[in-house]
Amino acid sequence: MATLTPPTLEIRPVSLGKRSRPRHTAVVLLVEDDFGDQILIQEALQAAPTPKRIQIVGDGDEALRYLHRLGPYADPGLSPRPDLILMDLNMPRLGGRELAAKLKSDARFRPIPLVALTTSDRDEDIAYCYSVGVNSYVQKPTDFDLLQQVLYQVDQYWLETSQRAPRMP
């Protein structure tokens, strides 16, 4: 009886071809209240290859002021529309759960990918986020190398692989 060996699978990079629109420098809005996490996340995001501008706000209220261009965010040059929003869940004033519900119920902001980046692994948090339209729920690793790997994958999927919504004013 002959021995069967599994076929060899050759994996080659796939070219996505020429994009229909030229890419612009991506804008990532980070909604995070912890200063230490802001720094670590920013460093990890900057290590990923996609050219990006990272805007940081400290809570959901400030994120809404940024997105609605209120107060210090009135100038579109200083507060460009994000291509991706990363948000923590547990923040003072307006937290991530409430922010997610507001953003995904507003037609102006619904197309922007919203990723919950949080330490919570509670089923009820995950279920709630997906129920209001959060695009992805990612548990924030406490180890910087793992955080960098996770954010590299987030960067590659949401800013490179996935087609971005057309940028609105």
Across the chain, the runs of DSSP E, i.e. the strands, are 26-31, 52-57, 84-87, 114-118, 136-139
Q: Quick one: pLDDT at residue 163?
A: 85
* pTM for this entry: 0.84
Do the Cβ atoms of 57 and 85 come closer than 8 Å?
A: no
In this prediction, residue 5 carries a pLDDT of 53
Helix (H, G, I), strand (E, B) or coil at 52: strand
Q: Distance between CA 16 and CA 129 in Å, rounded?
A: 31
Structural domains of the chain, with CATH: 26-152 (3.40.50.2300)
pLDDT over threshold 60, residue 129: yes
pLDDT tier for residue 106 given thresholds of 50, 70 and 90 = very high
Beta carbons of 86 and 41 less than 8 angstroms apart = yes
